Homo-oligomer: A and B are copies of this chain.
Amino acid sequence: MSNFDAKMAQYIKLTEENLSKYNDHTESNAPQKELIDAMNYSLEAGGKRVRPALVYAFCEALGGSLTSAIAPACAIEMIHTFSLIHDDLPAMDNDDFRRGKPSCHKKFGEAMAILAGDALSVLPYEIIADSPDLTADQKVLIISVLANSVGRDGMIGGQVIDMLNEERSDVTEEELRNMYRCKTGQLIAVSCVMGAICADASRETLRSAAEYGLRLGLAFQIIDDILDVTSTQEELGKPIGSDERENKTTFVTLFGLEKAIELADKATSEALEWLDSVEDNAFLKELTEKLLRRKN
């Protein structure tokens, strides 16, 4: 196994082990056991665990202790999972499957899925506030930047913009970039920033981490647009061509495939430049390049 793969495997293991611990229930006969089952069902559904890996990688690259990054790494994965559960709801994207398994509301019913998402959106603040491995100042700063990236001016605001854009055929490049920045970019950026906070990085380094994350998030989203056209259902794990069927504005519909690939390259190069100020950046560089070349 390469150094990169070993490190990634370590980060994933640390994330998954601690997600289970945080959402364990000592009283196994608690009447709300089904809620905890629904939360765990979606947490365990897998995915690339890119966001927690970024928290760990920034913390380590800047000389922080990996242990201190556990709470924010699990927090960001809980928030990502909460957003997927609510996104899949009938009133939202109405998706019956997620990563090849029935989506949370298909498995547990709509009411339970709403509440499982709600519970996963709250638990992050509790585990960060209760972490024995962070100072009070670190916790306050992490919670401030995290809640800001999730809320009305971040991910949730981005979902609203995405929803409103679906009814329009005249979405501009600037509007699309703003939507991607809110919906995807900020949560990826805050993963990097939280890792840097765990390492007590300077304000300047926090800014580099955020700028890197925003560009990585943009590249990530453009590649999603590209894969929807170029991939196969088998590789992607979900039906392809859905953007075209839903008349969505994407980087591919705005610019064509070739230019979209160019723009994903450009965003990736810019992301890499922001890594220059990060000391031990080998893992992060490889991760950035791997995400550009991903097939799903």
Contact = CB atoms under 8 A, between A and B. Distances in A.
A114 B89 contact: yes
Q: How many copies does the complex hold?
A: 2
A92 interface: yes
B86 A118 contact: yes
A57 interface: no
Given A125-B143, A163-B111, A35 B91 contact: no
A144 B32 CA distance: 21
A178 B31 contact: yes
A156 B31 contact: no
Given A91-B114, A114-B92, A115-B159, A126 B151 contact: yes
A92 B89 CA distance: 13
Contacts of A31: 160-161, 164, 175, 178-179
A146 B91 CA distance: 29
B92 A152 contact: no
Contact of A111 (B92, B130, B140): B92
A147 interface: yes
Contacts of A30: 153, 157
Contacts of A45: none
A159 to B, nearest CB: 6
Contacts of A136: 136-137, 139-140
A112 interface: yes
B115 A118 contact: no
Contacts of A139: 136, 139-140, 143
Interface in A144-203: 144, 146-148, 150-153, 156-161, 163-164, 175, 178-179, 182
Interface of A: 23, 30-32, 34-36, 39, 82, 86, 89-92, 109-112, 114-115, 117-119, 121-123, 125-126, 128-130, 136-137, 139-141, 143-144, 146-148, 150-153, 156-161, 163-164, 175, 178-179, 182
29 contacts: A30-B153, A30-B157, A31-B175, A32-B152, A32-B153, A34-B160, A34-B164, A35-B157, A35-B160, A82-B118, A89-B91, A89-B114, A91-B109, A91-B111, A91-B114, A92-B111, A112-B160, A115-B159, A115-B160, A118-B156, A119-B151, A121-B122, A122-B151, A122-B156, A126-B143, A126-B147, A129-B140, A136-B139, A139-B140
**6 A-B pairs with least C-beta separation:** A126-B147, A91-B110, A129-B144, A136-B136, A32-B157, A125-B147
